[in-house]
């Protein structure tokens, strides 16, 4: 591992919460596809399977920011554990209802409750921000987390689909639930690196989404999510037209691999100046990378085009999180990060739905017009909101400083302990 990445793990506890966060994030890429595989195997109804997966995604998009808002106010341990228990109970109910052929409405009720799953990626990034705020190491940490995201999306679907097809239909979602339980409970057991909650500051100012800069980021990521959702669906349909449907997962893994490698390289770079210009450049690159997809003629060409397209994903995501940290009050940082993920999830649902409609009407090749249009929309929103992202934002929402200015995090834990004692009355 390159030295900048080794350096961020010098902070006590960083390795532990990073591994726990990796496990807790695996369901993000496993649950939806696992539900589709399970339900289609048990019932043969792909329409029902897709509708349930969409219900989970939209439920998580609606509930996630509210959970993160409570986390900023009361702390990760107090909020994440009951929320995760609710989600796990819902997963168990969904598996049992599907296995014993319960009425469809029960499946949708449980699928909606599965959305109580917390945004574990946001929780881990908030811990990195508490350790390395206002230091170059935070950029490296965010880069590392984007790489972890891509690793989850490379291996998660393969594991989930493989278990459900080779073992028993419920195996994929079941393992996803196990990952969630182990990851969240292990993460919340690590109190030393948990960001200090802000019960007083969170009473004022309303939602983090009131920030103009965050509004631009979320709106842009709705369009960006539509790119991802459409590419997934159209690639599966294109591979089926080519007579190699099973190759779709490998082609999409190449897409994630491009992003993963770009994230590793981006984390080794150090930039000066505001990140708004780099962010807009990344959004434009994502849009332009959709153009070659309109010309695909075979699966090898598609894999190469998607690899190149993936190179712009992780750098844009990394810069987005840096902008969230600049434009959202510190007392609402976790909520702000989760709103970006919510915009992405909504976009994925929209993109996959529109792409499916286009495929049914015009065929798989025509479907690649959907991510092309979504990329153009993302660029348009980015340019319209660019001035908001350039505006200097005062450091608001809390007096607690977690970084020590040296990048080693050693002073963070001591200050955090003092902050906890000062706020003991509020947390009791």
Write out the DSSP string of 21-79: HHHHHHHHHHHHHHHHHHHHHHH--HHHHHHHHHHHHHHHHHHHHHHHHHHHHH-HHHH
* Residues in CB range of 226: below 8 A, 6 or more apart: 347, 348, 350, 351, 354, 370, 371, 374, 377
Higher pLDDT, 96 or 387: 96
**Structure confidence at residue 401 (pLDDT):** 35
User: What angle do the packed helices 299-310 and 248-267 form, to 10 degrees?
Assistant: 30
d(CA 361, CA 363): 6
d(CA 42, CA 352): 23
Higher pLDDT, 158 or 22: 22
**Structure confidence at residue 406 (pLDDT):** 35
**Structure confidence at residue 208 (pLDDT):** 66
Among 337, 393, 116, 355, smallest CA distance to 218 is for 337
Lowest mean pLDDT across 325-329, 393-397, 415-419: 415-419
**Structure confidence at residue 408 (pLDDT):** 37
* Residue 392 pLDDT exceeds 60: no
* Residue 164 pLDDT exceeds 70: yes
User: What angle do the packed helices 14-43 and 137-166 form, to 10 degrees?
Assistant: 30
* Residue 282 pLDDT exceeds 80: yes
Distances from the Cα of 424 to the Cα of 199, 253, 418, 428, angstroms: 11, 47, 10, 6
Average of per-residue pLDDT across 193-205: 67
pLDDT per position as a tens digit, 207-220: 666 667 788 888 99
**Domains 12-198 and 206-393 alike in fold:** yes
**Structure confidence at residue 205 (pLDDT):** 57
Average of per-residue pLDDT across 23-33: 85
Q: Please state the φ and ψ torsions of residue 177, each to the nearest 5 degrees.
A: -65, -40
pLDDT per position as a tens digit, 292-349: 998 888 889 999 999 999 999 988 988 888 888 777 777 777 777 778 878 887 887 7
* Residue 402 pLDDT exceeds 60: no
Average of per-residue pLDDT across 233-261: 81
Contact between residue 124 and residue 145 where contact means Cβ atoms under 8 Å apart: yes
d(CA 308, CA 302): 10
d(CA 20, CA 201): 28
d(CA 331, CA 400): 9
Range picked from 48-52, 68-72, 298-302 for highest mean pLDDT: 298-302
Percent of the chain with pLDDT over 90: 24
Higher pLDDT, 270 or 305: 305
Average of per-residue pLDDT across 166-180: 90
d(CA 223, CA 230): 11
* Residues in CB range of 167: below 8 A, 6 or more apart: none
* Residue 99 pLDDT exceeds 80: yes
Range picked from 17-21, 258-262, 362-366 for highest mean pLDDT: 17-21
CATH code of the domain made up of 206-393: 1.20.1250.20
* Residue 201 pLDDT exceeds 70: no
* Residue 356 pLDDT exceeds 70: yes
pTM of the entire structure? 0.72
Please report which confidence band the pLDDT of residue 38 belongs to, taking 50, 70 and 90 as the band edges: confident
Higher pLDDT, 227 or 395: 227
| b (16+ CB within 10 A) / e for 170-187 | bbbbbbbbebbbebbbbb
* Residue 412 pLDDT exceeds 50: no
**Structure confidence at residue 374 (pLDDT):** 94
Cα dihedral sign for 369, 323, 207, 17?
Answer: positive
Q: Which fold has domain 12-198?
A: Growth Hormone; Chain: A; (1.20.1250)
d(CA 7, CA 223): 35
**Structure confidence at residue 379 (pLDDT):** 94
Contact between residue 120 and residue 25 where contact means Cβ atoms under 8 Å apart: yes
d(CA 285, CA 263): 15
80 class by beta-carbon count within 10 Å (0-12 exposed, 13-18 middle, 19+ buried): buried
Average of per-residue pLDDT across 88-109: 92
**Structure confidence at residue 84 (pLDDT):** 94
Higher pLDDT, 245 or 49: 49
d(CA 368, CA 198): 45
Listed by start position, the domains of the chain span 12-198, 206-393
Higher pLDDT, 33 or 90: 90
């Amino acid at each position: 591992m390159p030295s900048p990445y080794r350096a961020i793990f010098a902070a006590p506890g960083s390795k532990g919460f990073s591994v726990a966060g990796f496990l807790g994030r695996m369901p993000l890429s496993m649950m939806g596809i696992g539900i589709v595989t399970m339900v289609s195997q048990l019932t043969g109804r792909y329409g029902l399977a897709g509708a349930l997966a969409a219900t989970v995604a939209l439920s998580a998009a609606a509930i996630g920011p509210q959970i993160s808002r409570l986390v900023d106010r009361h702390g990760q341990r107090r909020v994440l554990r009951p929320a995760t228990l609710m989600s796990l109970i819902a997963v168990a109910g969904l598996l049992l209802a599907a296995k014993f052929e319960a009425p469809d409405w029960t499946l949708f009720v449980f699928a909606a409750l599965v959305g109580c799953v917390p945004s574990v990626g946001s929780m881990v990034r908030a811990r990195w921000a508490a350790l390395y705020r206002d230091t170059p190491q935070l950029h490296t940490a965010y880069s590392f987390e984007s790489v972890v995201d891509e690793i989850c999306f490379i291996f998660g679907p393969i594991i989930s689909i493989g278990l459900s097809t080779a073992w028993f239909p419920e195996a994929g979602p079941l393992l996803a639930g196990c990952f969630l339980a182990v990851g969240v409970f292990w993460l919340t057991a690590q109190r030393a690196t948990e960001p200090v909650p802000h019960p007083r500051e969170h009473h004022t100012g309303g939602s983090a989404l009131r920030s103009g800069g965050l509004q631009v980021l979320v709106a842009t990521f709705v369009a960006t999510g539509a790119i991802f959702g459409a590419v997934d669906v159209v690639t599966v349909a294109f591979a089926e037209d080519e007579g190699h449907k099973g190759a779709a997962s490998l082609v999409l893994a190449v897409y994630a691999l491009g992003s993963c490698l770009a994230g590793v390289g981006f984390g080794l770079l150090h930039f000066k100046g505001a990140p708004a210009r780099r962010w807009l450049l990344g959004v434009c690159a994502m849009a332009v990378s959709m153009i070659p997809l309109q010309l695909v003629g075979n699966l090898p060409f598609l894999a190469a085009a998607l690899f190149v397209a993936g190179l712009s994903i992780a750098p844009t995501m990394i810069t987005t999180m840096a902008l969230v940290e600049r434009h959202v009050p510190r007392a609402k940082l976790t909520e702000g990060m989760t709103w970006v993920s919510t915009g992405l999830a909504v976009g994925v649902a929209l993109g996959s739905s529109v792409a499916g409609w286009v495929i049914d009407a015009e065929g798989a090749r025509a479907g690649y017009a959907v991510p092309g249009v979504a990329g153009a929309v993302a660029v348009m929103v980015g340019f319209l909101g660019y001035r908001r992202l350039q505006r200097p934002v005062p450091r608001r929402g809390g007096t607690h400083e977690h970084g020590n200015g040296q990048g080693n995090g050693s002073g963070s834990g001591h200050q955090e302990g003092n902050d906890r004692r000062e706020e003991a009355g509020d947390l009791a």
